[in-house]
Structure 1
Amino acid sequence: MEPQQQTLPATGSIEEPAAVSSAPAAPQQQPIQGGAVSPPQDSTGVFTSQGVGLAPSQQTFDSNGVFSPTGMVPLPDQHVMAGVSGAVTEHPANGNTISADEIALYDRQIRLWGMKAQKKIQAANVLLITMKALANEIAKNLVLAGIGSLTLVDDQNVSEADLGAQFFLSGENIGQNRAEAASREIQKLNPRVKVIADSGSIMEKGVSYFSAFDIVIATDLNATTLAFINTATRLHHRQFYAAGSHGYYGYIFCDLIEHDFVLQRDKANVSTNVGQESRTRFVTDVKTQKEGGKTIELVAKRELYSTWDLAAEASALPAEYLKSPRRLRAVTPFLSCLRALWAFEQFHNRIPAHNRQDLEYFTKSATQCHSLLSLPGDTLNSEILRSFLQNIGSEIAPVTAVLGGELAQDVINVLGQNQQPIQNMVIFDGNKMEANQYALHPEGPLGLAQLEPANPMMPAMMPTMMPMGDPQMDAQLGNSQIGEQQMGNPQMFPMGQPNMTHQGAL
């Protein structure tokens, strides 16, 4: 049975926040290393992904687009649920009422974002595609937050390789469908959430399939599949997230089309004016109200987005980066590596293999992507490429915990419509424990205007990749700083070695 359709408000008007009688509890902060988030640790100092439910209380990217863990708090866990009296009943799909038991269960998060936001969260139907380690983390956080329904789609069966970084699966599940096996454990986290398992292939779903969901989250899929899903969500005006992890590295992308939200803050001496703040952000309304002798400002904003194929694969960095050599040098080179990987997958329908031809091809592609982003050539070197190639296809639990927690947190922000969402690409570097945010958009219209027939913008695909040895390709990239002599022996790139795959600790 498909979940009922839910439509989030699409206007830019301000919705008055619901008052909560109790004062908010102070959020627990994770340890910080060098200004970046550190994965959760147990009492022995070992990184762990289990039992880490994260919810937002404030924006989690600073003005430079660097991820900050402030505002993350634990969500209700099974021990809290066990202490709630009364029978567990399925939550009504319309989300118009919240029972006393649910208020007790979700008390901490209601204090953070209010009753109206919690109602929206409990009315939400979410689709989550591919149940690997990253999706495990996302599912855990969303179910503990109390969404209305979670549909899991995965046509693959559990293998031994799935057991190292996924805490919903065990050896008993080998040979079973991944979505069905994980759904049984996910349901135990919160019986109030409807968890649905679908063992079919997402590519065999009709475009209308996606209309039943408020938010679609696609994880660990190739670029071609992501473009198909994003096109379907756009046609039905549904919000879309894509995410993937490769060992120490990963990304989050979102296309919210046009998203309205309201920020509540103390009124400053300088008035906030209605109008355009940046290329993607507009202030649509401003109101004030008195609370406890203070003047509170309610600022309604709207963010505009681009599709996956227009934004993630070929768009330039924002103008403020291109004008600043210092900011260009600070851009993570793993953005170029990820773009090269997506292009390789599109052309070859697989990830790079452990052979000289694939490694040379990938290196030249990454160098080309780096150049198209106007980044300094010396920031993409052989060590960066070697590290990225060694991590392709592997899963590391602390990395998926951070990425999954941040994505789930942003979904909660979007559903509640009271926090600044991601805009629109986050690149995570586990070596530095940093996640940097970049607004990647093509020239031309953004948001709904990209769907208009009069829009001349065509999907901007990656430059066509040519077979190795092609004279035109060699002429373009033959002078690359990362040539064959720097690549060295292919044995230096041990793709998918057991010591890199499915590790549970850094």
Structure 2
Amino acid sequence: MNALESHLEIDEGLYSRQIYVLGYDAMQRMTGSSVLVSGMKGVGVETAKNIILAGVKSVTVHDQGDAQWSDLSSQFFLSEGDVGQNRAVVSQRHLAELNSYVPVVAYTEELSEKFLSAFQVVVLTNSSLEEQLRISDFCHANNICFILADTKGLLFCDFGEHFVVYDPSEAEPVSATIQHITQGCPGVVTIACEEKQEHFENGGMVTFSRVEGMTELNNSDRGVCPDPCAVSAGPYHLEIGDTTTFSPYHRGGTITQVKMPQTHSYVSTSLLSRGYGKACSPCDLTHYCTLHMAFQALHAFQSKMGRLPRPRNQVDADRLLELAQDLAGWQAPLDEELVRAFAAVSAGDLSPINAVIGAMAAQEVLKAASGKFTPLDQWFYFDAWECLPEQEHSVPLSEQDCAPRGSRYDGQIAVFGADFQERLGQQKYFVVGAGAIGCELLKNFGMIGLAAGKGGRITVTDMDTIERSNLNRQFLFRPQDVLGLRPPLKSEVAAAAVRHMNPYTNVTAHQDCLGPDTEQLYGDNFFLGLDGVATALDNPQARVYVGERCVQYLKPLLDSGTEGTKGHVQVFVPFLTESYGHAMDLAEKTYPLCTLRHFPTAIQHTLQWARDQFEGLFKKSAENVSGGEALEKLELVHSSLQEKPLSWGECVAWARRLWEQLFRNDIQQLLYNFPPDHVRHSPSYRKSGSSPSPLFPLPLDTHMAFILAASRLFAQTHRLQVSGDEVAARQVLLVLCLMLFLQPRLESQALPRDLLTLPSFRVMSQCKIPSPPPLNLSLIPLSLAPQDDNSNFHLNFIVAASNLRAENYGIPTADWLQSKRIVGRIVPAIATTTAAVAGLVCLELYKLVWGHKDLGSYRQSFLRLAEPMFICIQPCSPSKQQVRACMAPKPRPSLGDHQGLSEHGLALRMLLYREAVLYAAFWSSEKLKEQLANRLTELVHCITGKAVPKDCRFLEFQIVCEGEEEDSTPPPVHVQLH
């Protein structure tokens, strides 16, 4: 099977966002892997769910146990009616609905060696130590990738003695424009110093392309010797070996990193006691050692006692500590309090922990099945002890508090107690967004019982509808949701799915965009009634707005985001952490206009240029002609009127002339203005290593793709029906005459007949288009279609135009999928990262519900599942600023409306309500007296022309005080109305 046939088997409509993460080759390798997941409790079903969504060959789920009440706190495919039934059998029915490309089978017998031999990857969860050792040894000896995952925070991988990683990282290969190459031993390559230029790896491999002069380097791989070093002028230098005998370097060229396969070696679980992973510091080493020994001691405890330690039972905790100390010996010191805490909660089962461990386990499965990304080496321990109650602020939990109650939350009660569970049920939370992260958040909220009690409420809002590409990572949606002519709203389907998982969850679905236009709906009463807000947005501006509202109403905010295998979670607590706006940098990447118009150096530049061409040719020109201001824009619409087509053939002719203008004439004009030798020394072109060149014979497909797409779009804007295909377009091109391009101050010369590699193209010196008769001037403006609409030739035009321009400038071209990602600003996404960050969000939610007051209890988390890397740090504290001594006791002043400004004692210079000035010290005494005699609500009404709504609880004002520094910004003042 060739590569093209393999790629066609990948359903781009379903896997589009995941393809950007893994690539075609890795996904194709995944389709050859059968996976076994043993143990269908919380972490097992979470792992299986993520694997199935990703699209492996097949998944077999195994469990010999029956569902119990405690399983319902984290196993989202079990209901109260399933208690007493086999977990694997019940789960299989639901898992099979996730992805029609992945067969799912349930197995309830013992795992024999013959049965295990049918799989390429085996995942064990909820298993005994004896079972782990037996299966691990068999898998290691038979080249089967083995993964161990435990709901208490353990992950272990053994991929055999010789596992090949084809692509170790998620990053695109480093690429740079060449400025110069020396002849010598070693040869030194000078590369352009671009903003945020990634460094080439020491000892890595690179390849060269489009080098002029020293052509021996083109398409050859060479090693990079020492570390690239920055010089004072800015460029980087790389040594590449002996270039003494090579031709002198002239200009141009690109150097690109070559990712080389890596071979990794692993040991089996039978060597369990020999190591416990890597630690970043001596403190981490003690922590890791303690957890490692605690897990082994737990296995010994279960073997002897036939059960897990009872929650908060002191005798069981002492026994587990003794076992851990015996196992540790003198290897390393143990944290005794950590072991006791481990014993106290080991009988628990938390959905957020399962989400994190299950997501990471699933990502390791995908690495094993695809050879994509660096696998775990080999142990990983995860804990979130900060979620337990702060000792100085609470009464210690007792064994009675955490005892089973025959409740669906027993697995969580075993960790946090019954009172905390009741507090969770009373929470009122606002979830903004019901996409990938939103679905995972709602699933976890349903499992932990958030808003499932008296007075509790979850409000979720999302104005989007479900699309097929959502099904690969937005867990609560199913294929039947996209079968109808009118797709349903995400928020409604997600809310219904959560109620099905936990019928006690009080969740309400909205379809409103959160913003200034909906502040009547999401106003004072709404926000003041909340306990917190969780965002699941991919729009930075929307997240900033939500952050501002949370600051305004003093509500905690849980924010998270993903990009490929990278994810982050941040928690913002009033008066304890910095606010969202202070933590984010929203500057978008922009390119200088001269770079886009004349001197592009990267495919991103040519794609933006092509997008601008699309907007100018098919949107703005049509709007100018059709709009009411057309008479004021005669110069802009002149060409549109002159070239109005009457037939499909004239559209093809227009597209051919456009090709001539953009990719030949404009380039010749640029070369006349900036000859190659001059360009190389031009400040505006200093970063570019090559000069442009008019297109000469190239593969015909690129040219015809542009002409076909441009002609179709031109026909659409002029309301003409496309009546021909590529064959008809070629017939038009056979008899087409083109006007000769005349360079300034140069005599005209004949153009080559093979201009477009079409021998039948005839280029003549004169050809005028006859003036068309008076016609209806109404045109149809074209707006760039949604990301997943591939049927309208919008992207076809942009991709073809970008690649043709890239050929002009010697820039490596991009395929259709890569171009689509860049143009559409599509964020790569995969279900594993989404599940992990949602789990981490819920861990911070636990702390908010407890009411933790210590900043050190909260965590900002950053992860890269591809490497894998996991970092948890303490949030930043808020900046403190003393505005005036009278304001020192409160972070934000609060006044009553019956108090006048003159009575409060604030030495104000200015008072503003939104953008309206209500008071200014420099006003005349008469105006000041008149203003100060009014109540603030009356001033707001007078200035804005709108009465303050009766249900408004307070007004927020900005103040400028006398004697404050120029760069000092006092906090807003809240005026309480009720």
TM above 0.5, yes or no, is yes
Q: Secondary structure at the match of 1:189?
A: coil
Q: Secondary structure at the match of 1:188?
A: coil
TM-aligned CA deviation for residue 161 of structure 1? 2.4
Q: Look up the equivalent residue of 1:190 and give its one-letter code.
A: N
TM-aligned CA deviation for residue 231 of structure 1? 2.2
Identify the residue that residue 146 of structure 1 maps to in structure 2.
Answer: 55
TM-aligned CA deviation for residue 370 of structure 1? 4.4
Identify the residue that residue 260 of structure 1 maps to in structure 2.
Answer: 164
Please say if residues 218 and 242 of structure 1, whose CA atoms lie closer than 8 Å, have aligned partners that are also in contact. yes
Identify the residue that residue 374 of structure 2 maps to in structure 1.
Answer: 420
Structure 2 residue 414 is the aligned partner of structure 1 residue 500: yes
Identify the residue that residue 348 of structure 2 maps to in structure 1.
Answer: 394
Q: Look up the equivalent residue of 2:307 and give its one-letter code.
A: R
TM-aligned CA deviation for residue 424 of structure 1? 0.6
Structure 2 residue 154 is the aligned partner of structure 1 residue 251: yes
TM-aligned CA deviation for residue 295 of structure 1? 1.6
Deviating more after overlay: 420-429 vs 256-265:
256-265
TM-aligned CA deviation for residue 98 of structure 1? 5.0
Cα distance change of structure 1 residues 287 and 206 upon mapping to structure 2, 3 Å threshold? farther
Q: Pick the structure with more helix per residue.
A: 2
Q: Distance in 1 between matches of 2:382 and 2:42?
A: 16
TM-aligned CA deviation for residue 289 of structure 1? 10
Cα distance change of structure 1 residues 373 and 342 upon mapping to structure 2, 3 Å threshold? farther
Q: Distance in 2 between matches of 1:144 and 1:334?
A: 32
Cα distance change of structure 1 residues 321 and 407 upon mapping to structure 2, 3 Å threshold? closer
Q: Look up the equivalent residue of 1:386 and give its one-letter code.
A: R
Q: Distance in 2 between matches of 1:315 and 1:419?
A: 26
Q: How does 1:369-448 map to 2 (within 5 A)?
A: 369-375=327-333, 377=334, 380-382=335-337, 384-432=338-386
Cα distance change of structure 1 residues 98 and 393 upon mapping to structure 2, 3 Å threshold? farther
Please say if residues 392 and 496 of structure 1, whose CA atoms lie closer than 8 Å, have aligned partners that are also in contact. no
Please say if residues 157 and 177 of structure 1, whose CA atoms lie closer than 8 Å, have aligned partners that are also in contact. yes
Cα distance change of structure 1 residues 401 and 288 upon mapping to structure 2, 3 Å threshold? farther
TM-aligned CA deviation for residue 345 of structure 1? 2.9
2:274 to 315, 332, 342: 315
Please say if residues 356 and 490 of structure 1, whose CA atoms lie closer than 8 Å, have aligned partners that are also in contact. no
Which digits, 9 at most, give the CA deviation of each residue in 1:26-64, with x for residues without a partner? Answer: xxxxxxxxxxxxxxxxxxxxxxxxxxxxxxxxxxxxxxx
2:203 to 271, 274, 277: 271
Identify the residue that residue 168 of structure 1 maps to in structure 2.
Answer: 77
Using structure 1 for the length normalisation, give the TM-score.
0.59
1:345 to 302, 323, 338: 302
Which digits, 9 at most, give the CA deviation of each residue in 1:322-353, with x for residues without a partner? Answer: 9x745534646322311211232344443335
Cα distance change of structure 1 residues 160 and 357 upon mapping to structure 2, 3 Å threshold? closer
Please say if residues 125 and 213 of structure 1, whose CA atoms lie closer than 8 Å, have aligned partners that are also in contact. yes
2:31 to 122, 140, 144: 122
Q: Secondary structure at the match of 2:151?
A: strand
Structure 2 residue 256 is the aligned partner of structure 1 residue 295: yes
Q: Distance in 1 between matches of 2:94 and 2:201?
A: 51
Q: Look up the equivalent residue of 2:160 and give its one-letter code.
A: I
Structure 2 residue 260 is the aligned partner of structure 1 residue 328: no
Q: Look up the equivalent residue of 1:254 and give its one-letter code.
A: C
Please say if residues 42 and 354 of structure 2, whose CA atoms lie closer than 8 Å, have aligned partners that are also in contact. yes
TM-aligned CA deviation for residue 381 of structure 1? 2.7
Using structure 2 for the length normalisation, give the TM-score.
0.31
Deviating more after overlay: 405-414 vs 424-433:
424-433
Please say if residues 289 and 332 of structure 2, whose CA atoms lie closer than 8 Å, have aligned partners that are also in contact. no
Q: Distance in 1 between matches of 2:363 and 2:94?
A: 21
Please say if residues 341 and 362 of structure 1, whose CA atoms lie closer than 8 Å, have aligned partners that are also in contact. yes
Q: How does 1:189-268 map to 2 (within 5 A)?
A: 189-200=98-109, 202=110, 205-246=111-152, 250-258=153-161, 259-262=163-166, 263=168, 265-266=173-174, 268=200
Please say if residues 393 and 496 of structure 1, whose CA atoms lie closer than 8 Å, have aligned partners that are also in contact. no
Q: Distance in 2 between matches of 1:99 and 1:107?
A: 13
Please say if residues 129 and 219 of structure 1, whose CA atoms lie closer than 8 Å, have aligned partners that are also in contact. yes
Cα distance change of structure 1 residues 144 and 269 upon mapping to structure 2, 3 Å threshold? closer
Q: Secondary structure at the match of 1:271?
A: coil
TM-aligned CA deviation for residue 215 of structure 1? 0.2
Cα distance change of structure 1 residues 307 and 346 upon mapping to structure 2, 3 Å threshold? farther
Identify the residue that residue 517 of structure 2 maps to in structure 1.
Answer: none
Please say if residues 316 and 372 of structure 1, whose CA atoms lie closer than 8 Å, have aligned partners that are also in contact. no
Which digits, 9 at most, give the CA deviation of each residue in 1:279-320, with x for residues without a partner? Answer: xxxxxxx96699x92321222211111111213xx11457x8
Please say if residues 130 and 154 of structure 1, whose CA atoms lie closer than 8 Å, have aligned partners that are also in contact. yes
Q: Secondary structure at the match of 1:176?
A: coil
Please say if residues 134 and 219 of structure 1, whose CA atoms lie closer than 8 Å, have aligned partners that are also in contact. yes
Q: Secondary structure at the match of 2:75?
A: coil
Identify the residue that residue 323 of structure 2 maps to in structure 1.
Answer: 365
Please say if residues 289 and 296 of structure 1, whose CA atoms lie closer than 8 Å, have aligned partners that are also in contact. no
Q: Distance in 1 between matches of 2:339 and 2:354?
A: 21
TM-aligned CA deviation for residue 240 of structure 1? 0.5
Q: Distance in 2 between matches of 1:321 and 1:174?
A: 41
Q: Distance in 1 between matches of 2:102 and 2:397?
A: 52
Q: Distance in 2 between matches of 1:216 and 1:333?
A: 27
Q: Distance in 2 between matches of 1:321 and 1:119?
A: 35
TM-aligned CA deviation for residue 363 of structure 1? 1.2
Q: Distance in 1 between matches of 2:255 and 2:203?
A: 15
Q: Distance in 1 between matches of 2:35 and 2:25?
A: 18
Q: Distance in 1 between matches of 2:28 and 2:223?
A: 23
Q: Look up the equivalent residue of 2:203 and give its one-letter code.
A: S
Which digits, 9 at most, give the CA deviation of each residue in 1:79-129, with x for residues without a partner? Answer: xxxxxxxxxxxxxxxxx7454671221111112221110011122100000
Please say if residues 223 and 345 of structure 1, whose CA atoms lie closer than 8 Å, have aligned partners that are also in contact. no
Cα distance change of structure 1 residues 317 and 155 upon mapping to structure 2, 3 Å threshold? closer
Q: Look up the equivalent residue of 1:366 and give its one-letter code.
A: A
Q: Look up the equivalent residue of 1:367 and give its one-letter code.
A: Q
Which digits, 9 at most, give the CA deviation of each residue in 1:340-388, with x for residues without a partner? Answer: 112323444433357665443211122234444323x4xx133x23321
Please say if residues 320 and 343 of structure 2, whose CA atoms lie closer than 8 Å, have aligned partners that are also in contact. no
Cα distance change of structure 1 residues 190 and 140 upon mapping to structure 2, 3 Å threshold? same
- Give 5+ residue unaligned stretches, structure 2: 175-198, 206-219, 225-252, 388-395, 416-446, 450-841, 847-978
Q: Look up the equivalent residue of 1:268 and give its one-letter code.
A: F
Cα distance change of structure 1 residues 118 and 207 upon mapping to structure 2, 3 Å threshold? same
TM-aligned CA deviation for residue 181 of structure 1? 0.7
Q: How does 1:475-494 map to 2 (within 5 A)?
A: none
Q: Look up the equivalent residue of 1:271 and give its one-letter code.
A: G
Q: Distance in 2 between matches of 1:316 and 1:241?
A: 16
Identify the residue that residue 455 of structure 1 maps to in structure 2.
Answer: none
Q: Distance in 1 between matches of 2:397 and 2:94?
A: 45
Q: Look up the equivalent residue of 1:337 and give its one-letter code.
A: A
Q: Distance in 1 between matches of 2:303 and 2:383?
A: 23
Cα distance change of structure 1 residues 206 and 491 upon mapping to structure 2, 3 Å threshold? closer
Q: Secondary structure at the match of 1:106?
A: helix
Deviating more after overlay: 493-502 vs 404-413:
493-502
TM-aligned CA deviation for residue 145 of structure 1? 0.3
Please say if residues 126 and 216 of structure 1, whose CA atoms lie closer than 8 Å, have aligned partners that are also in contact. yes
Q: Look up the equivalent residue of 1:242 and give its one-letter code.
A: L
- Give 5+ residue unaligned stretches, structure 1: 1-17, 20-95, 274-285, 434-487
Q: Distance in 1 between matches of 2:121 and 2:64?
A: 20
